[in-house]
Amino acid sequence: MTAEPAHLASPWQAIDHAHLWHPYTSLPAAVAPLPVVGAEGCELILADGRRLIDAMASWWSAIHGYNQPALNDAAQAQLARMSHVMFGGLTHPAAAGLAERLLRIVPAGLESIFLADSGSVAVEVAIKAAMQYWQAAGQPQRRRLLAFRHGYHGDTCWAMSVSDPANGMHRLYADMLPQQRFAPAPQCPPDAPFEPAALEPVAALIEQEADELAGVIIEPLVQGAGGMRFYHPAFLAGLRRLCDAHGLLLICDEIATGFGRTGTLFACEQAGITPDILCLGKALTGGYLTLAATLTTRAVSARLNGGEAGVLMHGPTFMANPLACTIASASIDLLLAGDWQARVRRLETGLRAGLAPAAALPSVREVRVFGAIGVIEMQAPVDMARATAIATAAGVWLRPFGRLIYTMPPYPLTPVQTERVCEAMCAIASGTGG
């Protein structure tokens, strides 16, 4: 490592340092971000020519890796037609083409689609739809949501209000947000027999609050940014039954799990359920552009039509952006044309083998793997600067948070690359390397 701060290495990095906020950082950032000038396959290319294996898939979105010819071609073809037109009063084949593909792959029954511009917005739209649903049903007092501790649903207001109230920074706004109800995080690992008692706390809360509740929001099988925790599909199936018994809407946030990450196209499939409202994002465009979707059943969309507004009250400027829709369609086609199940299985096997040594370290609380997700949970918070130095020295890009060192890599990661990612994660966990 050179003594010179990395952010002064070039004029554009000086501009970044002085003027640009990065996610959840001070300005200027305490740790200089790495300069990336290109990305190809499963690697990021740094300004000095170094290549890092991307174990994060750009926050879980770049499932195919980077610079995919099929997605590049689709983007260029759409650019030549039009990059964007408003969706108010106008429509285009790009949106319809994406809708057609989503309808073929999402759980049966989700037929009404809102194309939003980011995951958090998709969650806002889902919650607005749930609120309008109960207004239209003549039960406007049903306006609270039941959410789960260790959940994460985004950074906008309603999304923050249903994310874990204690971890993360959302508690900064605690008394400004809508007050929701929280159930304990599911305690039922997917690889152990399911104990129905795991559902008791949430069942009791629903029983108690049913008259005030609009619905329940949950991340299916994987609680992502709120703790990288996995739970049994039977829990989700049980939650669906509880919602049905009390007439509550079930909102499933598959923004992190959608498009194959857990071994099925959507995590809901493993529980054999259809939610009333489904949120998609992140991998929807294969990591190329920001786009998200909120899907509802006909029962929900029809009820909204009959409400006071008679419409779903949301409409972002870049709704159904044609460029993003076209790339999303190409990404879905590319996913379905390839052997993604085998790739996810191969990653799961590789991660299990490669991370196993970490389980024996005294600094490690737990190692867990589910689909193409590998996690080392430490006893104590990870020193991010030190972890980044160890990982980059090993040629790997990792971004631990809290006590969690984890990977959600692109699906084409080779076994050799997977081993290198695991070695870097284990090196961080043991405090060696760098």
Q: Which residues are catalytic?
A: 24, 152, 253, 282
What is the identity of the amino acid at 214? Answer: A
Evaluate the CA torsion angle 388, 170, 248, 188 in order and state its sign.
positive
Would you count residue 123 as binding ligand PLP (CB under 6 A)? yes
Binders of ligand PLP among residues 213 to 242 (CB under 6 A) are: 219, 224-225
CA pair distance 123, 135, nearest whole angstrom: 18
Q: Which residues contact 187 (CB under 8 A, 6 or more apart)?
A: 198, 231
Nearer Cβ to ligand PLP (163/326): 163
Q: What is the spatial distance between Cα 221 and Cα 148, in angstroms, rounded to a whole number? A: 12
d(CA 345, CA 338): 13
Q: Which stretch binds ligand PLP (CB under 6 A): 3-11, 147-155, 196-204, 382-390?
A: 147-155
Q: Which stretch binds ligand PLP (CB under 6 A): 67-75, 113-121, 386-394, 409-417?
A: 113-121
Site string for ligand PLP, 179-218 (x = CB under 6 A): ----------------------------------------
Q: Which of 214, 256, 312, 425 binds ligand PLP (CB under 6 A)?
A: 256
Q: What's at 183, amino acid-wise?
A: A
Instruction: For the CB of residue 126, give the shortest distance to ligand PLP in the complex, in Å.
Output: 10
Compute how many residues bind ligand PLP; rule: CB under 6 A: 15
Please state the closest distance from residue 259 (CB atom) to ligand PLP, in A: 12
Two tokens at 257?
């799990």
Name the one range near ligand PLP by CB under 6 A: 2-10, 116-124, 338-346, 350-358.
116-124
The tokens for 224 are 């992502």
Question: Would you count residue 120 as binding ligand PLP (CB under 6 A)?
Answer: yes
Binding-site member from 16, 253, 269, 348 for ligand PLP (CB under 6 A): 253
DSSP string, 159-204: HHHTS-SSSSSGGGGGGGSPP-EEEPPP---TTS---GGGGHHHHH
As given in the structure block, the two tokens for residue 398 are: 């990792």
Q: Which of 97, 107, 154, 215 binds ligand PLP (CB under 6 A)?
A: 154
Return the number of the residue (221 or 405) whose C-beta is nearest ligand PLP: 221
Q: Of the ranges 130-138, 149-157, 300-308, 424-432, which one interacts with ligand PLP (CB under 6 A)?
A: 149-157
Whichever of 164 and 253 has its CB closer to ligand PLP, that residue is 253
What is the Cα gyration radius of the chain? 22
Q: Which is nearer to ligand PLP, 139 or 290 (CB)?
A: 290
Residue of 95, 82, 68 lying closest to 325 (CA atoms): 95
Should residue 119 be labelled a site residue for ligand PLP when binding is judged by CB under 6 A? yes
Please tell me the distance from the alpha carbon of residue 388 to that of residue 394, in angstroms, as a whole number.
10
Residue nearest to ligand PLP (CB): 119
DSSP letter at 357 equals G
Rounded CA-CA distance 292/314 in Å is 14
Q: Which parts of this chain interact with ligand PLP (CB under 6 A)?
A: 118-120, 123, 152-154, 219, 224-225, 253, 255-256, 281-282
